[in-house]
């Protein structure tokens, strides 16, 4: 049985298989008559909706569970919650604060576990991101040799994006302020997946000639106490029209959303002709369907 906690749980070939399934018209219903439990420790608009709809498209019944309903490690242990859910469901998705919760889930689960965002990674987002780039630039096989620049916090979204884009042969540049870079273990892991990765503190250097520019919020869910500090630290890292002007002529702008206009990106860039944020949001559903179908076919 396979799980999806991070993009590099897949090989580069398997990543392409997932993307191919995501792009196929809906033809298989591997969740017919079955349930999928979706546990959320944090808020969500895109992930909950896209996962619920993808489960329905695969013939299944999605059951969203909010934190107060099961009490992960408060009402009972994560392990006991997961073992209980395995009695009813064919797949479990979880959005958690601590990635270790997912690893504990995997250790006791008899069904595939899908990371719906942790402090470490956001693989379903990474899949939707590369699906969007593939739609834009002529397919997943046409991405090799192109460049993506991520400007902002070296966070969960950055790590999954770097793995997904890089494993398809894209050159990845990440520009972050000092103290907010991808960790050394992240860069080691990304490079171990064969990714060509450049880390810099200069957003312009990252964006020169890039085919795509990506950003995410400066303060992730759970980091709210650091908001003021981060606003200061990320000054100069806003994706503006001026920054987009140094990119390739046909470049696109991506953002996982939710966006904070005027912080990590200007309103004008987000609403510009280069912005692909709505197809990207729709692709969350196709990516989720492709990922779940692939996982269920491995069993």
Q: Minimum distance between the CB of residue 122 and ligand NVA, rounded to whole angstroms? A: 6
| DSSP-derived 3-state class of residue 286 | helix
Is 117 or 172 the residue whose CB approaches ligand NVA more closely? Answer: 117
Strand intervals (E) in 10-132: 35-40, 61-65, 89-95, 113-115
The interface partner of residue 45, options being ligand CP, ligand NVA, none and the CB cut-off 5 to 8 Å by kind, is ligand CP
> CA-CA distances (angstroms) from residue 13 to 21, 38, 58, 167, 266?
13, 27, 23, 9, 37
Q: Does 256 bind ligand CP (CB under 6 A)?
A: yes
256 among known catalytic residues: yes
122 among known catalytic residues: yes
Beta carbons of 16 and 40 less than 8 angstroms apart: no
Give the pair of three-digit tokens for residue 79.
Answer: 């392990």
Which positions ≥6 away from 182 have C-beta within 8 Å?
Answer: 154, 158, 159, 162, 174, 176, 190, 199
216 among known catalytic residues: yes
Q: Does 44 bind ligand CP (CB under 6 A)?
A: yes
**If you count them, how many residues does the chain have?**
299
Residue of 16, 48, 89, 122 marked catalytic = 122
Torsion of CA 178, 182, 184, 185, to 10 degrees: 160
From 3, 46, 230, 293, residue interacting with ligand CP (rule: CB under 6 A): 46
Taking the C-alpha atoms of residue 53 and residue 30, their distance in angstroms, rounded to an integer, is 14
Is 8 or 153 the residue whose CB approaches ligand NVA more closely? Answer: 153
Is 31 or 264 the residue whose CB approaches ligand NVA more closely? Answer: 264
| DSSP-derived 3-state class of residue 69 | helix
Q: Does 257 bind ligand CP (CB under 6 A)?
A: yes
The interface partner of residue 216, options being ligand NVA, ligand CP, none and the CB cut-off 5 to 8 Å by kind, is ligand NVA
Q: Minimum distance between the CB of residue 119 and ligand NVA, rounded to whole angstroms? A: 7
Residue of 104, 189, 284, 293 marked catalytic = 284
Taking the C-alpha atoms of residue 123 and residue 209, their distance in angstroms, rounded to an integer, is 26
From 31, 41, 47, 91, residue interacting with ligand CP (rule: CB under 6 A): 47
Taking the C-alpha atoms of residue 237 and residue 179, their distance in angstroms, rounded to an integer, is 14
Is 83 or 260 the residue whose CB approaches ligand CP more closely? Answer: 260
Is 79 or 282 the residue whose CB approaches ligand CP more closely? Answer: 282
Q: Does 127 bind ligand CP (CB under 6 A)?
A: no
Q: Does 3 bind ligand CP (CB under 6 A)?
A: no
Beta carbons of 21 and 74 less than 8 angstroms apart: no
Contacts to ligand NVA by CB under 6 A: 117, 155-157, 216-217, 220-221, 256
The interface partner of residue 132, options being ligand NVA, ligand CP, none and the CB cut-off 5 to 8 Å by kind, is none
Look-up of token digits 């991070």: 6
Residue of 57, 120, 125, 280 marked catalytic = 125
Q: Does 255 bind ligand CP (CB under 6 A)?
A: no
Chain centre to alpha carbon of residue 26: 22
Closest CA to 158 of 4, 6, 14: 6
User: Catalytic positions, please?
Assistant: 95, 122, 125, 216, 256, 284
Q: Which parts of this chain interact with ligand CP (CB under 6 A)?
A: 44-47, 117, 125, 256-258
């Amino acid at each position: 049985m396979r799980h999806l906690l991070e993009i590099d749980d897949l090989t580069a070939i398997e990543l392409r298989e997932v993307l191919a399934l995501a792009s196929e018209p809906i033809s298989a219903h591997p969740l017919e008559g079955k349930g999928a439990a979706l546990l959320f420790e944090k808020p969500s608009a895109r992930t909950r909706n896209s996962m619920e709809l993808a489960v329905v498209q695969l013939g299944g019944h999605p059951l969203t569970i909010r934190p107060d309903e099961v009490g992960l490690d408060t009402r009972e242990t994560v392990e006991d919650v997961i073992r209980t859910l395995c009695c009813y469901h064919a797949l479990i998705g979880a959005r958690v604060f601590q990635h270790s919760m997912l690893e504990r889930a995997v250790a006791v689960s008899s069904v595939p576990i899908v990371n719906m965002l942790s402090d470490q990674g956001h693989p379903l987002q990474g899949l939707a991101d590369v699906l969007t780039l593939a739609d834009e630039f002529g397919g997943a096989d046409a991405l090799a040799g192109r460049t993506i620049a991520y400007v902002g916090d070296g966070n969960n979204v950055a790590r999954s994006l770097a793995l997904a884009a890089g494993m398809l042969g894209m050159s990845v540049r990440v520009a972050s302020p000092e103290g907010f870079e991808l960790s050394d273990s992240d860069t080691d892991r990304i490079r171990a997946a064969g990714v060509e990765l450049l880390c810099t503190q200069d957003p312009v250097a990252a964006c020169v000639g890039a085919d795509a520019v990506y950003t995410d919020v400066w303060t992730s869910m759970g980091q709210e106490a650091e908001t003021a500090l981060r606003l200061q630290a990320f000054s100069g890292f806003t994706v503006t029209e001026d920054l987009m002007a140094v990119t390739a002529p046909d470049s696109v702008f991506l953002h996982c959303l939710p966006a904070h206009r005027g912080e990590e990106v200007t309103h004008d860039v987000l609403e510009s002709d280069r912005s692909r944020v709505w197809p990207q949001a729709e692709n969350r559903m196709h990516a989720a369907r492709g990922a779940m179908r692939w996982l269920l076919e491995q069993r």
